[in-house]
Amino acid sequence: MLERAAVRPIAWIGQGKNRPLVPLPGLVLHLEGGPWVVSTTDMTLDLVGAGEHPSPHPHVFVSGEDLAAIAAACGIAAIRKPAPEIKAPAGNPLKWVIGLVVLGALANVLVIVKMKSAPPGPPEDCTRQRQPVEELYPRLSCAQARAELDRVARGEAQPRSIVLRPVQLTIEARDVVGPGTLRCDGIEFAVEDANLADPNAPIVYQPGPHAVLAAVLPDGRLSRPQYVICGNVVARERRGEFPP
């Protein structure tokens, strides 16, 4: 849990080589292990009270909607604004090229925002999910996966890649590389290289259904899971249409 005093709105300007073309809206989270920066490339978003921040701290990027939701939960207002106009001075072709690249990036951001706002359901609704055109991996409930991994550990089944379909998903790992625990609908799975970690507390996701693609090791552990939060289509599968 974060208190309001531990969260500060910023306009991230980077430092050294890690410097964006324009300041990006973000938040500084003052955690026990040190500050983290959470920001977005959505330049149509502004956080009230933000000041420029060069931050060499660890950094994570989220969508504009997610950043606004985090800010709102901490009592920080977020407002929408027109995309900034990028002007390159005449006589310098390189700056014109940079300006065009930035404008293209802004156009992509606006298209993504428009696509996300198109479905009638709210973005946090996990019930409307694209189905894969072809399922490349077997999809198992957490109980089915637990039974299969136990059979693999006893030598009664061969390891394979599977997709867990949890409603409740928690990740307990101190580092992305090394041992961890994945709690899937209350059932624990040992994980090698969890890929997501928090040294201070478990990562608890909103109710799903979610999808977790992972390889099964011969000893019955999962290896290098890939998490699709509030989604269904996993790596290398082609998305179908949203259900009506």
- The CATH code of the domain that includes 217 is 2.40.50
- Tokens for 137? 């991996």
* Domain presence at residue 244: no
pLDDT of 33: 74
pTM for the whole structure: 0.51
Provide the pLDDT confidence category of residue 207 given band limits of 50, 70 and 90: very high
State the residue for tokens 């072709």.
93
* Domain presence at residue 134: no
Where a domain ends, among 63, 82, 117? 117
pLDDT of 119: 43
Q: Are 91 and 184 within one domain?
A: no
pLDDT of 242: 82
* Domain presence at residue 110: yes
> d(Cα 187, Cα 135) in Å, to the nearest integer?
24
Q: Are 164 and 105 within one domain?
A: no
* Beta carbons of 228 and 210 less than 8 angstroms apart: yes
pLDDT (tens digit per residue) in 6-22: 788 988 888 777 778 88
Count of CA atoms in the C-beta half-sphere (13 A) of 105? 17
pLDDT of 20: 80
* Domain presence at residue 124: no
Domain membership of residue 220 as a residue range: 139-228
* Domain presence at residue 131: no
Q: Are 9 and 89 within one domain?
A: yes
Average pLDDT, the chain: 84
pLDDT of 93: 63
Which residues are registered as beta bridge partners of 27?
A: 9, 38
- Tokens for 60? 């994570």
Q: Are 99 and 180 within one domain?
A: no
- Tokens for 103? 């404008």
Report the candidate in 224, 215, 220, 141 with the shortest Cα–Cα distance to residue 185.
Answer: 141
pLDDT (tens digit per residue) in 209-223: 999 999 999 999 999
Residue 123: is its pLDDT beyond 50? no
* Domain presence at residue 123: no
Q: Are 21 and 97 within one domain?
A: yes
* Beta carbons of 107 and 85 less than 8 angstroms apart: no
Q: Are 143 and 69 within one domain?
A: no
* Domain presence at residue 69: yes
Pairing of strands 203-204, 139-140: unpaired
Considering only 113-127, 190-204, 216-230, which range has the smallest mean pLDDT?
Answer: 113-127
pLDDT of 189: 98
Q: Are 150 and 196 within one domain?
A: yes
> d(Cα 63, Cα 229) in Å, to the nearest integer?
13
> d(Cα 148, Cα 152) in Å, to the nearest integer?
6
Q: Are 113 and 18 within one domain?
A: yes
pLDDT of 4: 61
pLDDT of 215: 96
Percent of the chain with pLDDT over 90: 39
In total, how many domains does the chain have? 2
Q: Are 9 and 92 within one domain?
A: yes
pLDDT of 120: 41
* Domain presence at residue 191: yes
Q: Are 84 and 150 within one domain?
A: no
Q: Which amino acid is at 98?
A: I
Q: Are 56 and 106 within one domain?
A: yes
Q: Are 99 and 34 within one domain?
A: yes
